[in-house]
Amino acid sequence: MKAVVVSPEASCLNFPTSLKDADVPMPVLAPRDLLIRVEAVSVNPIDLKMARAKPAAEGIPRILGWDAAGTVSALGNEVLGFRVGDSVYYAGSVMRQGCFSEFQSVDERLVALAPKSLSSIEAAAMPLSALAAWEALFERMQIPQQSGGDRIDTLLVLGGAGGVGSMAIQLAAQLTNLYIIATASRAESKSQCLAMGAHSTIDHTAPLAPQLKSLGRIKVNNVLCLSEPSAFLPELVQSLAPFAHVCSLVEATSSLDMNILRPKSISFTWEGVFTRSIFSTPDMAEQGVILHKIAELVDTGLLKSTLTQHLGPIDAKSLMKAHVYLKTQRTLGKICMG
């Protein structure tokens, strides 16, 4: 089959120019695997991180990509929940080859039927960011799903215009009664946050506390950190309410002083989309359940795809262009190919 690979001898410093088109063997199916004909994919920061990872076997090129939509073309002998011909979407597992290929084998527990109202390109923009946002909001921070009533408590999304931010804002706007503040520094990123459902935006390149105070939000109850946390945590403490929750998807580049959170009994948690699949947790199938819920919310009109750019077919040229955009850290929503 055709695939876009990072050759084993390539340096991650050359990424994404080290991506190349190649012919590779077809995937082998495990008992609970689906063989999926990949129709559309999206790029994510995890691609660069995994380009640095050691290949699973000596001399085998690495296939990146963990956001896809496609059609089931074959079933492992223990698959129960899908049929050949089903349209599906998924993020998959970083422990296996990714989706920048014609076909991919994926554990059925990580897959769901794609939203019926979306094209494959629109659907491919959603899985990873939807899973990250859902798990962060409703599992890590345990924000209640309720609508109606006054929006007394606050959710601050640090870096709201990207893929996860765009999805988290939508979920919070539709499924909670939180007042949503997103950080954005450019006019177009502010517009993206407001279009997704944020009630206000503030500039993360300026001091946060005065801006929050000007909105009448002196104390923040929940923070979703989609930017490097050590740059914000010391300043944020003064604006956090007692018993507030902070959840970060981004690794810190320096040590975090957790002691500054203790006087207010503030909780800090990490969200990792691939934790369930990496460690084969007993609840791994919950990711398929979440994606099913997301598809229902899309098809009832409560959520929309975060696709903002379609760069062409799934090949090395398109993917290199997409990752160059991604490395600028100025992208809005999601970039897709297919």
Sorted by where each begins, the domain ranges of the chain are: 2-126+281-337, 130-270
Least Cα distance to 305 among 163, 92, 135, 100 occurs for 163
Q: How far is Cα 146 from Cα 1, in angstroms, rounded to an integer?
A: 47
The model's pTM: 0.93
The DSSP 8-state label assigned to residue 284 in this structure reads: T
User: Residue 72 has what pLDDT?
Assistant: 98
Q: Which of 203, 154, 207 is nearest to 183 (CA)?
A: 203
In one-letter notation, the amino acid at residue 230 is: S
Rg (CA), the chain: 20
Which tokens belong to 115? 């939203």
pLDDT digit string (tens) for the chain, length 338 residues: 999 998 766 555 566 777 899 999 999 999 999 999 999 999 998 888 887 766 555 567 889 999 999 999 999 999 999 999 999 999 999 999 999 999 999 999 999 999 999 999 999 999 999 999 999 999 999 999 987 777 889 999 999 999 999 999 999 999 999 999 999 989 999 999 999 999 999 998 899 989 998 998 878 999 999 988 888 888 889 899 999 999 999 988 888 899 999 999 999 999 999 999 999 999 999 999 999 999 999 999 999 999 988 999 999 999 988 888 877 767 788 999 99
Helix (H, G, I), strand (E, B) or coil at 174: helix
The CATH superfamily label for domain 130-270 reads NAD(P)-binding Rossmann-like Domain (3.40.50.720)
Buried-exposed string 82-106: b where 16+ CB fall within 10 A, e elsewhere: beeebbbbbbbbbebbbbbbbbbbb
Judge if 2-126+281-337 and 130-270 fold alike in CATH terms. no
Architecture of the domain whose range is 2-126+281-337: Alpha-Beta Complex (3.90)
Q: How many angstroms separate the CA atoms of 37 and 74, rounded? A: 9
